[in-house]
Structure 1
Amino acid sequence: MKHCLIVDDSAVIRKVARRILEELAFTITEAENGEIALSVCRDGMPDVVLLDWNMPVMNGYEFLTHLRQAPGGEKPKVLFCTTENDIAHITRALQAGADEYIMKPFDKDIVAAKLQEVGLV
């Protein structure tokens, strides 16, 4: 079973994403900010990270930068999942190592399509 780390400061978004990903046969770990997410990754890299941009403590961009520099940090597919929809944010995320970009709000079809694009379903 594939493992997904959901990183978002919104408990509601984490709950919705968890429900969708569990239906797609993923095991789930949650983190409410990038700092906690990095700690989770140090314990074991997930197959995919569903990552919010705007979070307290450590935002998604900072997390992604640290993740990609960590041992094994090139492994997880990273799907930025955010309301930031301008081309500058999208370009910055992709240049930092994101594999795909999902706009909020999202549904199961969107998440499944993006996971298929990165080769995980």
Structure 2
Amino acid sequence: MTFGRIAVKAMVTAAVATSLMGAGQAVAAGAGEPLDSYAGVGAWAYSHGTNGAVAIADTDGDSHAVYTLYDRRYNTGLRLDNHDGNGSTKYSGMDTANYVRKVTACLNIQLNPDRCGLDDRPNDDR
């Protein structure tokens, strides 16, 4: 009888641990998928790893500043600007609980409409 109780407790403990791991993954759906957006050759917005921060890189010496429009788990419509020129990268603050859910790279074209790349979101198969 004692062996049976120990075996049942072990199975119940394993089942509970497995279900909690699945629940944790469901809550964090979208965190951990690399997100990348490009606006031509001039701007690259990305969030990799835990998606706790977003970055915007200026990748062309074209005299245009770059920025990213991004969403986090609990905030939408955020913007991060980079006015430091070709080869520079700006980073947002790190917050893995309020992880990045969308990035869009944009070129800030003076006196004309800005040019933006495609949005990248979790599970969009890009």
| TM-score, normalising length: structure 2 | 0.26
**Which structure has more RCO (C-alpha within 8 Å, separation ≥ 6)?**
2
Considering only CA atoms, is the larger Rg found in Structure 1 or Structure 2?
A: 2
| TM-score, normalising length: structure 1 | 0.27
